[in-house]
Chains A and B, each alone.
Chain A
Amino acid sequence: MKILSRNALRIGAVGVAFVAATAAFAQDKSVTIGLTSDPSHLYPLAGEELSSNIMYYHLYDPLVKRSPELEFGPGLAESWENVDETTWRFKLRPDVTFHNGNAFTAADVVFTVNKARDSIRPDLVANIASITAVDDLTIEITTPKPYAVLPNDLAELLILDEEYTTATGDEQMDLKPMGTGPYMLEEWIKEERLVLTAFDNYWAGTPKIKTVTFRPITNPATRTAALLTGEVDVIQDLAVRDVDRVKREENIEVMARPSLLNVVLAMDTRAESPTIDGPNPMTDQRVRQAIAQAIDVDAINQIVMNGFSTPSTQYVPAFHTGYVDGMNFREMYPLDVEKSKALLVEAGYPDGFTMTLDATNDRYVNDAQIAQALASMLARVGITLELNIMPKSNFWGYIRVPTENSSFIMSGWDVPAGDAGSMYGALFYTRGVKDGYGQVNRGSYSNPEMDALVDKADATQSLEQRDQYLQEATKILMADIPMIPVHYEQDIYAVRKGVTMTPRVDKFIWAFDMDVE
């Protein structure tokens, strides 16, 4: 009897706890998000990949904040100004605290910059020559040369707490992050779930959603299933084949938006190319144009990408600095097999030629299929493509500049800083003449005019002037065709009705901007 009553009591207690739990749920908004993979890091200086980036921006803040549409505005820095050509002064936001209560000060920024320099990510501070704290809430940064887009770069540098980071050490920082961001880490069980709770003292206001749970679900079909069963509210990268099925569900919305990632084909312009016998035909602009006009981007969109790609008009998306309004690669070099053949005859290659295309099979959406489609398209004009397809773990080392193995490479490029300058400097600047320029110029393209324009753009303090110079550079590149822009992939999300979410161009899902009913 006694046992029975004790059990009854226990059941009663469980019931009460259950009611309390549901009541708490009704008050506190929560959301569960299905990601494609578990983050590798929670420490911004340990490395970068998408899932980790998503976590970083929940836990930490940069000085300059990037909006979902890639506009740049105040973050931990309230305002900034140029003292002279190469000196910037940033006024920091007062009364900001880290999750542990430590005040955010200029010393933390100085610490972060210096820490980044010795880490695996020195690229984050490559354009900072020196940094000093003027007072507690003012810092001064000098750049090695005039550099108009420094604030855009700073949007990727997340500020660490000097005291905490020093005491915790790099290895533990990955497990116990501490920033000023809108969310704090509650629990991270690797490969299972990562739970964030709202930081009530967040400087931009208390987050609306109190608990955010991220679940890594690698298999696309399982991700769809988890959404359909209601186990998650939002999923990233809905599989293309599931789009129709999910659209039929009444309480789920499918959202797609073009990403920033431009899939491009780099052509070798050296006199001799590793996979081509004899002289390299692609030194001739007409041959490069012939290749461009043999590629049917719409067919790739329809057949390979199921309509989920956006053909590229230039090397950077429309809202980037350096984009020329109204200029369209697809109109300049439309698909025209006859024209393409004629150009090859004109250039002295009536019988075409043979070369190898290097591509990945696990990096871009349907990358191996795109490579196969390219081979059959180029075959129509007499160019034989041999495919060399490999996983990304081999790929990046294989195509590494100096490109000793490749003639024709398919890869992707994005510029989250919203500025064509860094892309042009890295991909199209003459190789080996200036430190930090041309380091990824895989086709060894060289045009002194282009180089001069990039130099001018990087030497001016004014954003308008930079835009002008880079637009000129875009025009040259569109005429020279050192690379063929193919398409932007589309990011596809599926969201349960009642959850408000705007996909960001940079793919960084950010719960602070989301809401649930």
Chain B
Amino acid sequence: MFGYILKRLIQMVLVLWVVSVIVFLMMSFTGDPVFMVVPIDASDAEIAQARRLLGLDKSPLMQYWIFISSLVQGDFGQSYVFRQPAMTLILERMPATVEMVMVAMVLAIIIAIPLGVYAGANPNSRLSRIIMSFSLIGISLPGFWVGMLLIYLFAVHWGVFPSSGRGDTREFFGLRISLLTWDGWHHIVLPSVTLSLGTMAILLRMTRAGMMEVSRHDYMKFARAKGATRNDVLYKHGLKNALIPVVTIFGLQLGDLIAFATITETIFSWPGMGKLLIDSIYRADRPVIVVYLMLVALIFVVINFLVDIVYTLIDPRITLK
């Protein structure tokens, strides 16, 4: 176990380093950030001054060296546009995103798993067919379209939910959480539903496929024969064995939604961090992009690690080496 964690840590550092190099290389093609901060009629002297103030007057290799050496000391650099520490900019937007993703994932699980088990156990029933058609719609519909449709129906037409924003929040261990207020829940419904649809559909289809596969095995028939109830058979014996691929996909989806919920955030003007990434790309704000993508890489590494641990809990035959 210890060896496994150590191996993972080394891998992680390697991944983060590679990400930083790739982003630095990529950013040299996306335009000169200095022109995003100076007025368009700036003189050469004014541009030179801005370049110096942003630290862009040094060679790319030198800039990278400065970045890496301050990184080791815990300094993640300053945004060119905001003139604020890049890490702070990301972290202050993170709770909003994580919150929305959590609600979306919970929603996806509690709907997708039971429906998937049902559809897998009764592949020929009419209800299963209806469920499967809906899941197909869930996969195919683009998020921005669903989001706009929900806003039109639930906010503009019926006036049940607000169209955008995060609503009231409450401080909790220094984090601003909107799930602690009624108004916050009111605001989170539409974006979370929008975000969850795709994942819900994928999880549902994975669960169904797994269940259909598992149902053919003898131990299922044996369990039923030994007198276990149908639900026991399905959920304890069946689902547990069908769950490995579902958990894998779940982990990947979770990381994906946290990192790139950009579209949903933009549509609902949700103050999350995905929007920051897109804005930073438009503004060629390299320090924010680098730190953001390194953080995303870290999130994926951690989630995959947790997924591995969950494997061992679901299936004791799997061990971490």
Which residues of A approach B to under 8 Å, CB–CB? 37, 40-41, 43, 46-48, 119-123, 126, 170-171, 174-175, 189-193, 215-219, 221-222, 225-226, 228-229, 231, 362, 391-398, 400, 411, 422, 426, 435-436, 439-440
Contacts and interface: CB of A to CB of B under 8 A. Distances in A.
Contact of A229 (B31, B34, B36, B162): B162
Nearest to A225: B163
Interface string B147-166: 01001100110010011111
Given A393-B31, A435-B43, A174 B93 contact: no
Nearest to B281: A393
B202 to A, nearest CB: 25
Contacts of B268: 222
B165 A192 contact: yes
B65 interface: no
B264 to A, nearest CB: 11
Contact of A219 (B32, B156, B267, B283): B267
Contacts of B17: none
Given A215-B165, A362-B282, A123 B92 contact: no
B42 interface: yes
A266 to B, nearest CB: 12
Interface stretch (B78-86, B291-299, B303-311): B78-86
Given A123-B46, A436-B43, A393 B82 contact: no
Contacts of B43: 123, 126, 435-436, 439
A391 B283 CA distance: 10
A229 B157 CA distance: 9
Contacts of A226: 163-165, 269
Nearest to B54: A120
Given A120-B53, A229-B163, A394-B30, 14 more contacts: A40-B81, A119-B53, A174-B84, A190-B92, A190-B271, A191-B276, A192-B165, A218-B275, A222-B269, A226-B164, A393-B30, A393-B284, A396-B36, A440-B40
B39 interface: yes
A215 B166 CA distance: 11
Contacts of A175: 84
9 contacts: A120-B49, A171-B83, A174-B82, A174-B84, A192-B271, A229-B155, A392-B282, A396-B32, A396-B40
B266 interface: yes
A35 B271 CA distance: 14
A400 B38 CA distance: 12
B164 A391 contact: no
Contacts of B38: 120, 123
B302 interface: no
A31 to B, nearest CB: 16
Contacts of A397: 31-32, 34-35
Given A393-B30, A397-B31, A123 B39 contact: yes
B151 A225 contact: yes
B37 interface: yes
A481 to B, nearest CB: 21
B179 to A, nearest CB: 15
B44 A391 contact: no
B31 A394 contact: yes
Given A40-B82, A229-B162, A436-B43, A221 B148 contact: yes
A427 to B, nearest CB: 8
Contacts of B81: 40, 47
Contacts of A228: 156
Interface in B108-139: none
B156 A217 contact: no
A392 B92 CA distance: 27
A47 B152 contact: no
Contacts of B45: 122
B118 to A, nearest CB: 36
B84 A171 contact: yes
A391 B278 CA distance: 13
Contact of A218 (B44, B89, B92, B266): B266
Tell which of B44, B159, B165 has the most Cβ of chain A within 10 Å: B165
A278 to B, nearest CB: 31
Contacts of A40: 81-82
A122 B48 CA distance: 11
